[in-house]
């Protein structure tokens, strides 16, 4: 028979062990919580162009490195300017917008990565035709203004094909975005430049026919940049690296496993017809919209800035070294390698069973 003193001793030891285990678990949990860094990411509005970010969120690529991402939409702070107000650590932005900001304010945040690598617009005509850019000579085109990425992309293509804007053809770029398609339907313009979702919807409804995708022709500069405040880079460089790693990993994995892209699009890009979404996703993937490259090339940057200067869109030239920080993108490309599903499963089993 076990003596009462022995039972009491065993109970005491068990209580101590349980208490110690609970304390250790709580301590480790709090320590991990303290190590987690939250990055506020301004995306303005949901966009299929942001797909690598959504894939990284859905697949837990940021969680792997103890980084929490808080997405901030314009509806969360409608009167805020992310460049001026302290509402975000990382801003997803149009390249023309950012380079203009950098031109007027040298202390504007540096570019740390790219999110989408091609122009996202399509050109629609009223009839099906054997397409060549020379077809635009003498025609009227409803398009984006020159102070936008799509506007510059179109202008560059026109010049490369021997056409001078407003000389060899007429560009209507002062029509408000929400009125462009209506103006085209009413008979204005022979062609119209539209963002992917709207272009595919217009074609599906019989409004026009897609004759060209600018991203398949013009590959000079990314359409979405990730810029990070200098303060967050100095305070949490490891978190910024984790963010860029997550974006690069998503782009790399997406190109090997396209189903990741469709899954993330389904979860995050909800306000789009499913058939339109799948068609657009396929076209963007095929043109290399999210190819696994997150850095900005100096030569492309120089050409793009020169275009901006020619178009009069920046008051003061901006320098590559002052504008782009490729450190994080370079490290991500050097350290992150694609692992096929079967190898990932083997690695997981090895961790579980030793």
> What is the SS3 assignment for 96?
helix
On whether both 106 and 255 belong to a single domain, the answer is yes
On whether both 111 and 86 belong to a single domain, the answer is yes
Smallest CA-to-CA distance from 82 within 225, 250, 238 is with 225
Burial of 294 (0-12, 13-18, 19+ CB in 10 A): buried
On whether both 59 and 111 belong to a single domain, the answer is yes
Write the CB contacts of 66 (distance below 8 Å, at least 6 apart in sequence): 32, 35, 36, 37, 242
209-213 vs 121-125, strand pairing mode: antiparallel
Question: Could you give the number of structural domains in the chain?
Answer: 3
On whether both 107 and 127 belong to a single domain, the answer is no
| Structural domain range at position 166 | 121-217
Q: Would you give the distance in Å from CA 36 to the centre of its chain?
A: 23
On whether both 158 and 83 belong to a single domain, the answer is no
On whether both 313 and 227 belong to a single domain, the answer is yes
CA-CA distance, 301 to 206, in Å (whole number)?
38
> What is the SS3 assignment for 176?
coil
Write the CB contacts of 108 (distance below 8 Å, at least 6 apart in sequence): 83, 98, 101, 102, 227
pTM: 0.86
The structure tokens listed for 89 are: 């650590």
pLDDT by residue for the chain (354 residues), tens only, comes to 555 555 555 555 555 455 555 554 454 444 444 578 999 999 999 999 999 999 999 999 999 999 999 999 999 988 899 999 999 999 999 999 999 999 999 999 999 999 999 999 999 999 999 999 999 999 999 999 988 889 989 998 999 999 999 999 999 999 999 999 999 999 999 999 999 999 999 999 999 999 999 999 877 789 999 999 999 999 999 999 999 999 999 999 999 999 999 999 999 999 899 999 999 999 999 999 999 999 999 999 998 998 888 888 888 889 999 999 999 999 999 999 999 988 887 766 666 665
Cα angle 320-325-327, degrees, rounded to a multiple of 5? 135
Please give the pLDDT value at position 98: 95
- Cβ(197)–Cβ(284) under 8 Å? no
Beta strands in the chain (DSSP E): 37-44, 67-73, 90-93, 111-116, 121-125, 140-142, 170-172, 191-195, 209-213, 224-228
Query: To 10 degrees, what angle do helices 259-268 and 237-256 make?
Result: 120
b/e per residue 72-100 (b: at least 16 CB within 10 A): beeeeeeeeebbeeeebbbbbbbbbebbb
On whether both 112 and 261 belong to a single domain, the answer is yes
On whether both 187 and 285 belong to a single domain, the answer is no
Of the three residues 173, 200, 217, the one that is the final residue of a domain is: 217
Please give the pLDDT value at position 341: 87
CA-CA distance, 308 to 314, in Å (whole number)?
6
**How much is the CA Rg of the chain, to the nearest whole Å?**
25
On whether both 304 and 160 belong to a single domain, the answer is no
Write the CB contacts of 354 (distance below 8 Å, at least 6 apart in sequence): none
Of the three residues 197, 217, 237, the one that is the final residue of a domain is: 217
On whether both 241 and 101 belong to a single domain, the answer is yes
On whether both 88 and 226 belong to a single domain, the answer is yes
The structure tokens listed for 92 are: 């997803």
Q: Would you give the distance in Å from CA 298 to the centre of its chain?
A: 20
- Cβ(138)–Cβ(176) under 8 Å? no
Cα angle 210-211-213, degrees, rounded to a multiple of 5? 85
The CB density around residue 301, as the number of other CB atoms within 10 Å, is 20
On whether both 104 and 250 belong to a single domain, the answer is yes
CA-CA distance, 118 to 98, in Å (whole number)?
16
- Cβ(115)–Cβ(53) under 8 Å? yes
What CATH number has the domain bearing residue 65? 3.40.190.10
Of the three residues 191, 217, 243, the one that is the final residue of a domain is: 217
Smallest CA-to-CA distance from 297 within 353, 210, 227, 220 is with 220
CA-CA distance, 63 to 291, in Å (whole number)?
23
């Amino acid at each position: 028979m076990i003596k009462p003193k022995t039972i009491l001793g065993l109970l005491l030891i068990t209580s101590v062990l349980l208490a110690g285990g609970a304390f250790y678990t709580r301590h480790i949990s709090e320590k991990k919580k303290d190590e987690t860094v939250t990055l506020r990411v301004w995306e303005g509005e949901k966009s299929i162009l942001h797909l690598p970010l959504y894939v990284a969120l859905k697949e837990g690529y940021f969680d792997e490195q103890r980084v929490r991402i808080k997405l901030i939409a314009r509806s969360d702070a409608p009167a805020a300017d992310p460049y001026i107000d302290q509402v975000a650590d990382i801003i997803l932005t149009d390249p023309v917008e950012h380079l203009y900001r950098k031109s007027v304010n040298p202390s504007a945040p540096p570019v740390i990565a790219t999110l989408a690598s091609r122009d996202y617009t399509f050109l629609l005509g009223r009839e099906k035709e054997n397409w060549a850019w020379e077809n635009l000579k003498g025609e009227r085109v409803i398009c984006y203004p020159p102070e936008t990425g799509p506007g510059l992309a179109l202008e560059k293509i026109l010049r490369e094909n021997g056409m001078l804007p407003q000389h060899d053809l007429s560009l209507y770029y002062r029509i408000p975005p929400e009125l462009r398609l209506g103006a085209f339907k009413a008979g204005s313009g022979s062609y119209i430049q539209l963002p992917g979702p709207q272009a595919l919807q217009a074609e599906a409804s019989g409004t026009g026919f897609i004759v060209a995708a600018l991203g398949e022709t013009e590959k000079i500069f990314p359409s979405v940049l990730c810029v990070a405040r200098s303060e967050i880079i100095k305070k949490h460089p490891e978190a910024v690296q984790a963010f860029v790693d997550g974006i690069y990993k998503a782009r790399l994995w997406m190109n090997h496993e396209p189903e990741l892209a469709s899954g993330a699009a389904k979860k995050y890009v909800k306000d789009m017809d499913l058939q339109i979404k799948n068609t657009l996703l396929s076209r963007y993937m095929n043109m290399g919209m999210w190819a696994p490259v997150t850095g900005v090339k100096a030569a492309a940057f120089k050409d793009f800035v020169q275009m901006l200067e020619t178009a009069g869109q920046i008051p003061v030239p901006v320098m590559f070294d002052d504008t782009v920080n490729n450190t994080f993108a370079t490290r991500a490309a050097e350290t992150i390698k694609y692992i096929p599903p079967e190898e990932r499963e083997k690695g997981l089993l090895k961790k579980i069973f030793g």
